[in-house]
């Protein structure tokens, strides 16, 4: 069996009064992401990890932030398009491990819904999608609530 791993990372600035969407869930908070799309760092990191596993470049290459087609777009749609590429190339999704770095708010109440959202789009069983979260203990720009970031790793296998 042939396997590929991929790594993804994303960061967005947080500003007062904008919407905060993470893992396809709209989270009530006084700050949200500055972005061309919905600024969903979890899904952007995941898309980049999947593209990376297939050495297909990055999310910015496939969905440029200069293209109005992607203005305010749900990143679940971007994930769906990335998964189409995976299938076209003859690969199958195995699992993903995602690490969110965010000082506030607590996202634990939303994690299960995020996992289900992602699993529905891939599609795969929910237990193949891991989402973990940590603060940065108040350190640096994430700790000062100036931004939110995420890392993702994935494994793909040859169909
Ligand atoms: Mg992004």
Query: Where do the domains of the chain lie?
Result: 3-158
pTM of the model: 0.96
Considering the chain, what percentage of its residues have pLDDT values greater than 90? Answer: 90
**Highest CATH level, class, for 3-158:** alpha beta
* pLDDT tens string 133-156: 999 999 999 999 999 999 999 999
Distance 58 CA to ligand 1 centre (A): 11
Distance 146 CA to ligand 1 centre (A): 15
The per-residue pLDDT for 134 is 97
Q: In terms of DSSP bridges, do strands 91-101 and 147-158 run parallel, antiparallel, or are they unpaired?
A: antiparallel
Q: What is the mean pLDDT of residues 22-40?
A: 94
C-beta contacts of 106-114 below 8 A and 24+ residues apart: 107/22, 107/27, 107/133, 108/133, 110/22, 110/23, 110/25, 110/27, 111/23, 113/23, 113/24, 113/25, 114/22, 114/23, 114/24, 114/25, 114/42
* pLDDT tens string 89-127: 999 999 999 999 999 999 999 999 999 999 999 999 999
Q: Are 131 and 100 in contact (CB under 8 A)?
A: yes
The per-residue pLDDT for 121 is 98
Distance 109 CA to ligand 1 centre (A): 23
* Residue of 129 and 35 predicted with greater confidence: 129
Distance 48 CA to ligand 1 centre (A): 9
Q: What is the mean pLDDT of residues 64-82?
A: 89
Considering the chain, what percentage of its residues have pLDDT values greater than 70? Answer: 100
Distance 158 CA to ligand 1 centre (A): 28
């Amino acid at each position: 069996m042939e396997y590929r791993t991929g790594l993804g990372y994303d960061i967005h600035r947080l500003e007062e009064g904008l919407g905060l969407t993470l893992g396809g869930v709209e989270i009530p908070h006084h700050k949200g992401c500055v972005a061309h799309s919905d600024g969903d760092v979890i899904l952007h990191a995941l898309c980049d990890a999947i593209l990376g596993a297939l050495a297909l470049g990055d999310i910015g290459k496939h969905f440029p932030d200069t293209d109005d087609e992607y203005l305010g777009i749900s990143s679940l749609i971007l994930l769906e398009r990335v998964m189409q590429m995976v299938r076209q190339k003859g690969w199958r999704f195995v699992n993903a491990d995602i690490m969110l770095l965010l000082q506030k708010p607590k996202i634990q109440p939303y994690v299960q819904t995020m996992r289900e959202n992602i699993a529905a789009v891939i599609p795969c069983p929910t237990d193949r999608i891991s989402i973990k979260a940590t603060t940065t203990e108040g350190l640096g720009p994430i700790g000062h609530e100036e931004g939110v970031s995420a890392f993702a790793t994935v494994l793909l296998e040859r169909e």
